[in-house]
Amino acid sequence: MNAPPVVVFAYNRPDLLARTLAAVRSPAIPILYAFSDAPRIATDAEGVTAVRRLFAAVDWTEVRLIERAENMGLGRSILDGVTTVLREYDRAVILEDDIALAPGTYEWLAAALAHFEHDRRVMSVSAWTHPRVTPPGLGGEPFFSGRASNWGWATWARAWDGMLDHTALEMLANAERMGVARDAYGVDVPAMADVELAKNIWAVRLIAHHMANRGLALHPGEPYARHIGWDPRATHLTDRDMWDSPLATRATIPDVWPLPVEHPGVAGMWRQAAAAEFAAAAAPHRLSARVARLLRRIAKRALGPFGASLVVAACGLGYIV
């Protein structure tokens, strides 16, 4: 089996990175590519330095540490970094610094990459799933979805080709021309595509890339990867939400891999889950925004700009005003 390199992207969270590195540690890994983004602000420098020390201290495989000279942000860094690695290798396992893995997950990803390497219908392999989007009755066996996931995943150079050529919006337009609706896998997909460039996000482009090529993503029947970065330091996620779930005890390579056909129920499950998430978030957010603006106006009149900031922050609403 061709053992793929592991690519890890990190910023300023050494505590989380330590857990990710411990989870991915395997004697089978030939090389670790470590992409470390530069500090965005001066107060982040200490965390960035600690992250780079952690990468440099890895002694269980060869490490190629790429210390960014500028702050690229997560989206640009991943698009550039994965492209760089896949120019040299035909496949790779990709992680961010806030992903925990079940034991054996690297071996599971590597085995799936080897099994489906020549099947161009399969464009990625994910270690993540969630009960909301896992069809029932699988008994823990893997399945295929037309929606990719980026929480612990792997791909081939052949499948990554074209990721830099178009934005997510352009890819969704191409998918639509082939009869795949923009919201075929949830209303969140076109919503994320609308802000891809403005917010420097990238995962929606991976989803749209699959949709535009009618590609498939292999997912496990139970979670082999878990997002652990639910804190204010996260780039786009700052609170635990409906997508958290415990890890499986161990990743198990199946005796027989599934045929590369999308499970008939998975697209509908994604649409339902995304609609539920939007509905749950919309009303409280709109109400909070109104209350926050009102409090800010009242406090500003009474206490001045500094007092307004204190009042709003004390109410826990500063992030939306």
* pLDDT band (50, 70, 90) for residue 244: confident
Mean pLDDT score across all residues of the chain:
88
CB atoms within 10 A of CB 318: 14
Q: What are phi and psi of 271, to 5 degrees?
A: -65, -45
Mean pLDDT of 302-314: 44
41 pLDDT higher than 50: yes
pLDDT value at position 72?
97
The tens digit of pLDDT for each residue in 51-65 reads 999 999 999 999 999
Hey, where are the domains in the chain? 6-264, 281-320
Give the integer Cα–Cα distance in Å for 55 and 72.
19
Where is average pLDDT lowest: 69-73, 124-128, 253-257, 279-283? 279-283
Tell me the fold of 6-264.
Spore Coat Polysaccharide Biosynthesis Protein SpsA; Chain A (3.90.550)
216 pLDDT higher than 60: yes
The tens digit of pLDDT for each residue in 146-201 reads 999 999 999 999 999 999 999 999 999 999 999 999 999 999 999 999 999 999 99
pLDDT value at position 242?
75
Where is average pLDDT lowest: 120-134, 238-252, 264-278? 238-252
* pLDDT band (50, 70, 90) for residue 236: very low
Q: Which residue stretches of 89-200 are H helix?
A: 105-115, 157-160, 168-177, 188-194
Best-predicted range by mean pLDDT (139-143, 286-290, 301-305):
139-143
Q: Give the predicted TM-score (pTM) of the model.
A: 0.84
Q: Which of helix, strand or coil describes residue 31?
A: strand
Q: How many CA atoms lie within 13 A of 40 on its CB side?
A: 8
Q: Which of helix, strand or coil describes residue 178?
A: coil
* 267: its two tokens: 């697209």
Q: E strands, 11-83, where?
A: 31-36, 62-67
Mean pLDDT of 126-152: 96
The tens digit of pLDDT for each residue in 2-34 reads 899 999 999 999 999 999 999 999 989 999 999
Contacts 24+ apart (CB under 8 A), 239-242: 241/277, 242/132, 242/273, 242/276, 242/277, 242/280
